[in-house]
Structure 1
Amino acid sequence: MSLPTLHDLHRPLGDTGLWVSPLGLGTVKLGRDQGVKYPNGFTIPDDDAARLLLGQARQLGINLIDTAPAYGISEERLGPLLRGQRQDWVIVSKVGEEFEAGQSRFDFSAEHTRFSVERSLKRLETDFIDLLLVHSDGNDLDILQGCEVYQTLAALKAEGKIRGFGFSGKTVQGGLKALETGDCAMVTYNLSEQSERPVLDYAAAHGKAILVKKALASGHACLAPGVDPVRASFELLFAHPGVASAIVGTINPLHLSHNVATAAAVLLRN
């Protein structure tokens, strides 16, 4: 018997007109192994391994891919790796954070926002990016109210260079503010961290999109013996009508297959 896939479980990304798989593939591990918060070390996969992983994701019904300038050389690698497949993917990238020489720096000016998006278009070898998110440094409201990044993204959307924009923040107030005029908020929501739930509630009520980061975060030790933490995580996420998709950052083919099969089982049961 073949395992279920996500091909028939795609869902709207808020009111953007985009349809996405309930799991998206995060690609930080394709481009960066410094300053990342993973419990175990890893080796950045070579092009052949990365190509196989992306092919596997497509076969399993994943059409959402998440990258960022702050993910080292992730964007630069994805351009050639996805050549000829642009129509198969909904691409999410970011703006605001740069990662250089092992350090992050942030720039939310209009000039840098436009420069960053144009650079991402070249790196990804595409004429448009489906969704562009602001990579917050934690000062969510200051960025949204005191910087030009959001207005610049709105202008880039009007120009057709991006199809939607939003905010990857760290606070409830930031998420709510971002959804007032933006299309999407990326929030942390998992078994051990649910403080941003009001942002999910607002999105569900207003037809906005939610992408979940750190969906499979640590903190599963509190689960009863024999309980699959991946299944419990997805049951939590997909019980909320505001969640469009959860980003999983694995480069392990077995983990990817297990994540997809588990998510499909949860969604089909619902």
Structure 2
Amino acid sequence: MTYLERRNPIADTGLSVSPLGMGTVKIGRDKAVKYPDGFQIPDDEQVMTLLEQAWESGINLIDTAPAYGRSEQRLGQLLKKVRREWIIATKAGEYFDAETGESHYDFTPESLMKSIENSLKTLQRDELDIVLIHSDGNDEQIIRHHGALEVLADLKQRGWIRASGMSTKTVTGGLLTLEQSDIAMVMHNLQYQEERSVIEQAAKLNKGIFIKKALGSGHLAKNSADDNVQANFDFIFNEPAVSSVIIGTINPDHLRDNVHKAIKALI
């Protein structure tokens, strides 16, 4: 089995993550998602098999969020069955209503603290490894007006979380995040490179970068006759500041293929 041996440190937090991380939207919700094909939420046995495959392939990072439906709850219940040193990144600020299929956002300090308290309970952890603010696109307002990153910094000081940051949607938001936090999660692929300056700044500051939508939520891989997965991995991993690329698959064959191509890109 191909194995991801590399571990990338996150700032000075003591955390080191694999170059690929497992996104878990699809284990928690199937409404209001942007994937090219429909899918069925896997059962517990299928999720455990996939997580074990990921672990045995060298992946140690799981990405989740309250907005991913039942993802946090299921991870909390399933991961305690097998002792693995998973690093879990969750988020705060976006909330998903399973009945309506709609999200709402609340970045007040009270809401963020309540969300993080709930994540500690649902994930069944004494502390959270990574918490990112789940932006609605108004990055600067979230940071400057609501003080969301300051809330995370305070909880980091209290020992609730080990690393903090923001899943941003603007260059300004990404740069502000790197000033105040450990990680910026940005979008970056062959068809979208508008946030490259955030990645370059992270390299200068020795901060972490998580890549979301590396394959355009599956659209880049599906809509090309060429090996777009390999081409995108080659392109993304050429950036030394990239800590981890989050892949959101529930297909064991896709996972195996992604690991193989990531290793090839990292050589």
Name 2:235's counterpart in structure 1: 236
Q: Give matches, 1:1-270, under 5 Å.
A: 3-6=1-4, 8-83=5-80, 85=82, 88-100=85-97, 101=99, 102-217=101-216, 218-219=219-220, 227-268=226-267
* Code of the aligned partner of 1:134: I
- Residue 222 and residue 84 in structure 1: after superposition, are their counterparts in 2 closer, same or farther (change >3 A)? closer
* Code of the aligned partner of 2:107: F
Aligned-residue RMSD, C-alpha:
1.5
On the 8 A contact 1:184/1:211 being kept in 2, the answer is yes
Separation of aligned partners in 1, 2:204 and 2:178: 11
Separation of aligned partners in 2, 1:73 and 1:18: 26
Q: Give CA deviations for 1:18-61 in whole Å, capped at 9, x if unaligned.
A: 11110000000000100000010000000010110111110101
- Residue 71 and residue 205 in structure 1: after superposition, are their counterparts in 2 closer, same or farther (change >3 A)? same
On the 8 A contact 1:191/1:233 being kept in 2, the answer is yes
Shift in Å at residue 10 of structure 1? 1.6
Separation of aligned partners in 2, 1:206 and 1:15: 11
Aligned residues: 263
Shift in Å at residue 9 of structure 1? 1.3
* Code of the aligned partner of 1:186: M
Shift in Å at residue 219 of structure 1? 4.0
On the 8 A contact 1:191/1:219 being kept in 2, the answer is no
Separation of aligned partners in 2, 1:132 and 1:142: 19
Task: Quote the sequence identity (%).
Answer: 51
Separation of aligned partners in 2, 1:44 and 1:143: 32
Q: What are the ranges of 5 or more consecutive residues in structure 2 without an aligned counterpart?
A: none
* Code of the aligned partner of 1:233: N
* Code of the aligned partner of 2:86: W
Q: Give CA deviations for 1:138-185 in whole Å, capped at 9, x if unaligned.
A: 001000000032211111101111001001010001000111011100
* Code of the aligned partner of 1:4: T
Secondary structure at the residue paired with 2:184?
strand
